[in-house]
Amino acid sequence: MGAPDLTVLSVDECWARLREAPYGRLAVVVGFSGPDIFPVNHVVDRGSLVFRTAEGTKLAAASGQLVAFEIDGRDDDTAWSVVVKGRAHEIRSIHDTLEAMDLGVTPWQGGAKPVFVRIDPDQVTGRQFRVRAGT
């Protein structure tokens, strides 16, 4: 039995929220260390998500692997969450890299972030619910 004030968002509503969100959290499994979460800013591109990064733990754990990406938000009386699950892969071809450069995803953190990563979703889900008064 579901909560009375819970609304399951349609896939289109989820993508609309993803387009509006300035950042999200990338969840990956890092070897034997287990799960880890990284904040990243992203863009929606042709039914997928694209973000930039550099060589390191995030790229190594995400590239070629199943990942989860989550955004959420809240206004005065509602809160919502959208989760994308799919496979991440490094954008490697020069043509695809040039296209990704035109998407306008600019990392907030300083330093070079020359690698573009695309998440091709297998599942996009979301929900919205009324926030209890006083919280």
Second CATH level (architecture) for the domain 6-127: Roll (2.30)
**Whole-number Å distance between alpha carbons of 12 and 117:** 23
**What DSSP line would sit under 38-62, residue for residue?**
EEE--EEETTEEEEEE-SSHHHHHH
With bands split at pLDDT 50, 70 and 90, how would you rate the model's confidence at 78?
Answer: very high
Q: Is the pLDDT of residue 38 over 60?
A: yes
Q: Give the start-to-end residue ranges of the domains of the chain.
A: 6-127
Integer-rounded Cα Rg, in Å, for the chain is 16
- This prediction has a pTM of 0.92
Q: Dump pLDDT digits (tens) for 99-111.
A: 999 999 988 888 8
Q: Dump pLDDT digits (tens) for 21-35.
A: 999 999 999 989 999
Q: Is the separation of the CB atoms in 4 and 129 below 8 Å? A: no
Q: Is the pLDDT of residue 1 over 50?
A: no
Contacts of 92 (CB under 8 A, 6+ apart): none
**Whole-number Å distance between alpha carbons of 10 and 58:** 29
Q: Is the pLDDT of residue 134 over 70?
A: no
Q: Dump pLDDT digits (tens) for 79-130.
A: 999 999 999 999 999 999 999 999 999 888 888 999 999 999 999 999 999 9
